[in-house]
Amino acid sequence: MAGLFALSASADPHAVAALRAALVTSSGGPPPIPPVLSATELTPVRQNAAIKGRDGAQSGLFHDRSIWAFGDTVLNVPGHDGDSWADNTTSWTADLDAADGIVLTNDHLDGTGAPTEFIPFTRRERRFNKLHDPNHCQQQPCGAEYALWAGPVVPDPQRNRVLYFYMKIYRVIGNPGWTTIGTGIAVWTPGSPVVRPIESPGSPDPTLMFLQDEVGFTGGSLLEGGALYSYGCYPGFLVQNCQLARAPLADALDRSTWIFYAGHGMWSPNSADAVTVLQGGASNQVFFDPYLGDYVAIYSAPLDDDVMYRVSYSPWGPWSDQALLFTGVPGQNFDYAALSHPEFAEGDGQTQYVTYVRITGLFESEIRLVQVVFGHPKP
C-alpha cells in the first residue's frame, strides 16, 4: 500500500485524495507504522546573535525560501521600544540543504537592528498595552498585555501571499498562564507589510477567525490540492485532542467557507459538530510524505523529552498508534515544540528534518535540529 501511494504522489491531487479515501474505506484501519532507521542530532539551528531564545519554529516554502515564524522571542539587546522581548518574530533562508545544519540570520528587524514583531497589533491593542506597560503604567493591572503568537506558515504562491496563523492571548507579566482570546490568519504579500484582515465582522475581535469560545485551528496546517486543512487542539489528560477544519485556500480568509470534520466521512459548517481526529502534543505538525505514501504527525510528548509520530492514509485518520521518533537532549526543563520542516526533505521524503526547543537557562533556549531517516513498513 505504501508503494502505491509513493507512485501516486505526483499524480492529480484530487485523484490521489480519492484513492486514499478508497483505501481508508477498504482497509478499515490506519497504515502500518514505518520504522525509523536513524535519528541524528545535528548542530542547533543558527540564529541572529541577538536572540537568547525562541518559542516554536513553524516553517513553509515560499518562492524557494524557507520562511519561519516564532512565538515569544527573548533578546540580548533592547529593541526600539526599550523592550528585550518580542511576542513574535520571523526568519528565512534560501539554503534548503539541511544536512549541514540550518542558518537563520535573515530577520524582520526594527530601526535599531533588533528582531521585532512582524504580526502587527491593532490600534486598540497597542493602546491597551501602552496603558498597562509596567514601566509607564497608567491603568491597572500593570503588566497586562495582549500578545500575538505566530503559528503555522501556509504558502500560497498562486496568489503571491503567505498566510500566518496566529493566536491572540491576554496575560499579565509576572503571572503564570494566559487567556486565549482567539486565533486568526495574518497575510503577507512580498513588498508589503503583514496585515490582519477582518475575518469576523461585527465581533469584539473582528480580525480573529475563531473566537474565544471556539477551538482555535492553529495546531498544524497542510495543503491538499486547493484545500487548506488545519488542526485545532484542546487539552485532555496529558494529551491534546485535535479536530480538523478545511477551507479552499483561495478563500481561507472567509470564515463562511470553513467546514469541520464531523466523523464518518462527513463535514459540517458548524464547528460544534467537529470530532477529535488525532491525539498528539502541544505542537503538532502534519505533512504528507511521498516516500511513505502516508500522512505523518509529529509532536512532543507532554512532560517528556520524547518526540512521537503517527501515520494515516488521510488528514482525518484513522491514525496509527503513536511511536517514538527520537528522544531529545535533556535541558533544564522538558523539551517541547517538536515540528517537522518538509521543505528540507531528501530522497522523496525518506529523510526528514525535525526541530525541537531545549531550555538552556533562564529565558534562554536553543532550537535543536534532528535528521530522521524512515524505512518502509513491512507489508
**Gap between the Cα atoms of 27 and 8, Å rounded:** 18
**Gap between the Cα atoms of 232 and 240, Å rounded:** 9
Alpha helices in the chain (DSSP H): 2-8, 13-27, 123-131
**Gap between the Cα atoms of 205 and 165, Å rounded:** 15
Instruction: Tell me the domain boundaries of the chain.
Output: 2-346+364-373
Angle, CA 195 vertex, CA 146 and CA 122 arms, to 5°: 35
CB of 119 within 8 A of CB of 194? yes
Quickly state the pLDDT bin for 379 (edges 50, 70, 90): low
Quickly state the pLDDT bin for 11 (edges 50, 70, 90): very low
Q: Residue type for 77, please?
A: V
Q: Residue 247 phi/psi, 5° resolution? A: -150, 155
SS (H, E, C) 44-97: CCEECCCEEEECCCEEEEECCEEEEEECCEEECCCCCCCCCEECCEEEEECCCC
The answer on pLDDT for 275 being more than 50 is yes
**Gap between the Cα atoms of 93 and 65, Å rounded:** 6
- Quick one: pLDDT at residue 192? 95
Q: Residue 42 phi/psi, 5° resolution? A: -100, -175
Phi-psi category of residue 293: left, alpha or beta, with phi > 0 → left and psi -120 to 50 → alpha: left
Q: Residue 25 phi/psi, 5° resolution? A: -65, -40
Which residues, 6 or more positions from 4, have their beta carbon under 8 angstroms from its beta carbon?
19, 293
| 113-124 residue pLDDT tens | 889 999 999 999
Cβ neighbours, 10 Å, residue 322 = 19
The answer on pLDDT for 2 being more than 80 is no
DSSP 269: S
Quickly state the pLDDT bin for 266 (edges 50, 70, 90): very high
Quickly state the pLDDT bin for 128 (edges 50, 70, 90): very high
Put simply, whether the predicted model's pTM sits higher than 0.85 gets the answer yes
Q: Within the chain, how many helices (H) and strands (E) appear?
A: 3, 27
Domain 2-346+364-373 grouped into CATH 3.90.550 = no
Quickly state the pLDDT bin for 20 (edges 50, 70, 90): low
- Quick one: pLDDT at residue 22? 59
